[in-house]
A and B are shown apart, each in its own frame.
Chain A
């Protein structure tokens, strides 16, 4: 853990030893860290001079191009606009010479020191700003020490990326998969983007991934999704089932009881997430007593509500997607349905708790890696920066935050590589990179190209106030590791589905 905060810009080591970009921190100098951290130092030693050279090339190279496709119109625009704004904010910060803290931590990732601590247990510099939490996570005079960052945005010591300005090319995908494919081709072939950040639904991602692989394009998919993509060119920065489904199902069964009823959107996300629930619930004493898959076009839920009432579950797992399906909540509330609910998408994505009148989402539980209400100083600073740039936005969702830190992560990786050459940057992304995102610490797991996340169990009360009942400072994306994926050693270009794992056959 000692090295997780002082590594934001290894490339500028030699030149900027004396410039402190942060006001606090352990007295481990960068140099001593670099000597100690074997693997990381090997990767980042080269750019010490490389980045110096590339800076002199700056004028010739033109801007670094980041391609970004999201739906700015059509049915999915509510999510796409948030993500587009997130990319704009990140690019603006990069061009202003800012970066998020973080850097390579070597393989192995971050240790998770506590299961229920409400604050990330980061060691401080021993005297100032040191706070303590007791075993329950409450502030206390003694116990576990932690330091809360006021903000994670620090100077990068660079302007843009490697001295080159960053240009964001962000066309509108129009909620139409065919247009997504055309735009992907255009961004790769005509604009020759250095990095592609795109994709809301799994259908959009699967529509463009073959094109990405054809051109070996560095591609970052920032959505929460069902998991399983093992693709050498693709980096997935959203949370996946093992990070969201398992914690929430475990909690709900303990708290409300074993009888689970699942209502899910009828496409690959809903089906696969429901399969995870089916496989996992029995292991913690749960039982799926009913399952219903609802087509995306359905907006009248009378019959589904009656089926839930007939089944009498202890709680309902709602995996509903899109604005048609979110009608379930007000309709269920008006019918007098008062079961506790859990989800992996609602609230954090379409801010249903802000849109619908209380108490439609009373007792809704969701394990999220981000939600605007995350009660940390660094998040409040992020939210403030966001609304200074986009004062009219209604909400900052989970995926918007993912896009934000992903763009910063790309910039970091390019600085480590010392070049925007895509193969080099991919290797740098696989160097055991971590970044201090608004949610907390995120670690890009090299072998599977997925991220460990800071997961919080958020819940809404009868007045739709959000509170956090549990926190897991780092949950690994372990499922692809379990089935033996190692993209560093073996290139792959596919999506695994739960059926390929005997774990799900039971």
Chain B
């Protein structure tokens, strides 16, 4: 009984850790992974999502609808950001880095000045159940399920919609895509807006588990960048899934045995090793392996 309880608890922790990494990274997957914009305002986009969810929820909207409102609200904000500022920095990675950093400072401090140091919390929905000496929060189980659903939705968008096709073409070779009639400017706006909206969505989803404060976004930035960079740009979705699973598989048992500090160190060491031996990320290695197998068959 005690052994299965521990095993079940480890599986649950693995799931929550992976879901946390994936949700922290999901907006950045699109913006950094696909568009190659080092978006240092990622955390602040998540913060805005959390604020929209908090404000609409306390105004009486049920929490799931508040999450949806955050997605559209931040997507709209992202579109404005792209149209006014970010589009001037395509192809200039360092310029984009500095400008998004500036945006993040303005958004964080501006929110602090307007809304003060904290927002009222959102109660974590759902209860908990226990098995053996461990117990499980229902909300985290829902977050794991939502993360899995998001993976499939993103995969579907990019593989089976015409926007997805145009987006992949634009990211691969914008000039050529444009010559073939793809409205690349619009694709860029839509893609940035989708990435921002996803950041807002995950900010709203993580809001109940977190302190809703102007600088809350900073806690997500480091895990998000680590997840995306370890995942690599070859196939951003499978890369992010792979890296969040691998990183949490390293972090969870070590954290459980030796404590949170060792868990965090283990995660960083694992990221370092993976980037060293797979400089193009996990997705590149997976892709190479798949290609080789396909070639062998052929």
Q: Which residues of A contact B (CB under 8 A)?
A: 73-75, 77-78, 81, 266, 292-295, 297-304, 306-307, 309-310, 312, 323-324, 326-327, 330-331, 333-337, 355-357, 392, 394
Chain A residue nearest to B134 in the complex (CB): A309
Cα separation A333 to B218 with both chains bound (whole Å): 24
Chain A residue nearest to B117 in the complex (CB): A78
Asked if residues A300 and B134 are in contact (CB atoms below 8 Å), the reply is: no
The distance from the CB of A265 to the nearest CB of chain B, in whole angstroms, is 11
A-B pairs with lowest CB-CB distance, top 7: A336-B128, A78-B117, A334-B124, A357-B123, A336-B135, A323-B211, A303-B255
13 A-B pairs (CB sep. < 8 Å): A75-B215, A78-B118, A297-B222, A302-B16, A303-B260, A330-B121, A330-B123, A330-B208, A336-B136, A336-B137, A337-B135, A394-B116, A394-B117
Asked if residues B259 and A392 are in contact (CB atoms below 8 Å), the reply is: no
Determine the chain A residues whose CB is within 8 A of the CB of B117 once the complex forms: 77-78, 81, 394
Asked if residues B261 and A295 are in contact (CB atoms below 8 Å), the reply is: yes
Asked if residues A77 and B112 are in contact (CB atoms below 8 Å), the reply is: yes
**Is B243 part of the contact surface with A, judged by Cβ < 8 Å?**
no
Cα separation A297 to B261 with both chains bound (whole Å): 10
Chain A residue nearest to B253 in the complex (CB): A303
**Is B9 part of the contact surface with A, judged by Cβ < 8 Å?**
yes
Asked if residues B213 and A78 are in contact (CB atoms below 8 Å), the reply is: yes
Chain A residue nearest to B251 in the complex (CB): A303
**Is B287 part of the contact surface with A, judged by Cβ < 8 Å?**
no
Chain B residue nearest to A79 in the complex (CB): B117
Determine the chain B residues whose CB is within 8 A of the CB of A77 once the complex forms: 112, 117, 214-215
Determine the chain A residues whose CB is within 8 A of the CB of B123 once the complex forms: 330, 357
Asked if residues A323 and B260 are in contact (CB atoms below 8 Å), the reply is: no
**Is B178 part of the contact surface with A, judged by Cβ < 8 Å?**
no
The distance from the CB of A365 to the nearest CB of chain B, in whole angstroms, is 21
Chain A residue nearest to B254 in the complex (CB): A303
Asked if residues A75 and B218 are in contact (CB atoms below 8 Å), the reply is: yes
Chain B residue nearest to A324 in the complex (CB): B219
The distance from the CB of B19 to the nearest CB of chain A, in whole angstroms, is 9
Interface hits, B1-56 → A, CB 8 Å: 6, 9, 12-13, 16-17, 20
Cα separation A297 to B263 with both chains bound (whole Å): 12
Residue of B13, B112, B118, B140 most packed against chain A (CB within 10 A) = B118
Cα separation A326 to B121 with both chains bound (whole Å): 12
Determine the chain B residues whose CB is within 8 A of the CB of A74 once the complex forms: 215
**Is B126 part of the contact surface with A, judged by Cβ < 8 Å?**
yes
Cα separation A310 to B16 with both chains bound (whole Å): 18
8 Å CB contact of B17 from A266, A300, A335: A300
Cα separation A330 to B20 with both chains bound (whole Å): 16
Beyond A293-B259, A335-B128, A392-B116, 11 extra complex contacts between A and B, CB < 8 Å: A292-B260, A294-B261, A298-B260, A303-B251, A310-B134, A323-B215, A326-B211, A334-B137, A355-B211, A357-B121, A357-B124
User: A355 with B256: in contact, given A306-B9, A394-B116 (CB under 8 Å)?
Assistant: no
Chain A residue nearest to B214 in the complex (CB): A77
The distance from the CB of B226 to the nearest CB of chain A, in whole angstroms, is 12
Chain B residue nearest to A74 in the complex (CB): B215
Cα separation A306 to B252 with both chains bound (whole Å): 11
The contact string, 1 if C-beta is below 8 Å from chain A, for chain B 175-219, is 000000000000000000000000000000000111101111011
Determine the chain B residues whose CB is within 8 A of the CB of A357 once the complex forms: 121-124
The contact string, 1 if C-beta is below 8 Å from chain A, for chain B 129-143, is 110011111111000
**Is B102 part of the contact surface with A, judged by Cβ < 8 Å?**
no
Determine the chain A residues whose CB is within 8 A of the CB of B127 once the complex forms: 336
Cα separation A299 to B221 with both chains bound (whole Å): 12
The distance from the CB of B68 to the nearest CB of chain A, in whole angstroms, is 22
Determine the chain B residues whose CB is within 8 A of the CB of A307 once the complex forms: 256, 259
Cα separation A86 to B82 with both chains bound (whole Å): 42
8 Å CB contact of B209 from A294, A312, A327, A336: A327
The distance from the CB of A405 to the nearest CB of chain B, in whole angstroms, is 23
The distance from the CB of B202 to the nearest CB of chain A, in whole angstroms, is 13
Asked if residues A330 and B261 are in contact (CB atoms below 8 Å), the reply is: no
Asked if residues A323 and B121 are in contact (CB atoms below 8 Å), the reply is: no
Cα separation A298 to B17 with both chains bound (whole Å): 12
Determine the chain A residues whose CB is within 8 A of the CB of B251 once the complex forms: 303
Determine the chain A residues whose CB is within 8 A of the CB of B218 once the complex forms: 75
Determine the chain A residues whose CB is within 8 A of the CB of B138 once the complex forms: 334
Chain B residue nearest to A359 in the complex (CB): B123
The distance from the CB of A292 to the nearest CB of chain B, in whole angstroms, is 5
Asked if residues B121 and A335 are in contact (CB atoms below 8 Å), the reply is: no
Asked if residues B135 and A335 are in contact (CB atoms below 8 Å), the reply is: yes
8 Å CB contact of B259 from A292, A324, A327, A334: A292
Determine the chain B residues whose CB is within 8 A of the CB of A337 once the complex forms: 135
8 Å CB contact of A266 from B9, B128, B210, B261: B261
Asked if residues A334 and B126 are in contact (CB atoms below 8 Å), the reply is: yes
The distance from the CB of B17 to the nearest CB of chain A, in whole angstroms, is 6
Asked if residues B118 and A306 are in contact (CB atoms below 8 Å), the reply is: no
8 Å CB contact of B136 from A324, A327, A335: A335
Asked if residues B139 and A334 are in contact (CB atoms below 8 Å), the reply is: yes
Chain A residue nearest to B9 in the complex (CB): A306
**Is B161 part of the contact surface with A, judged by Cβ < 8 Å?**
no
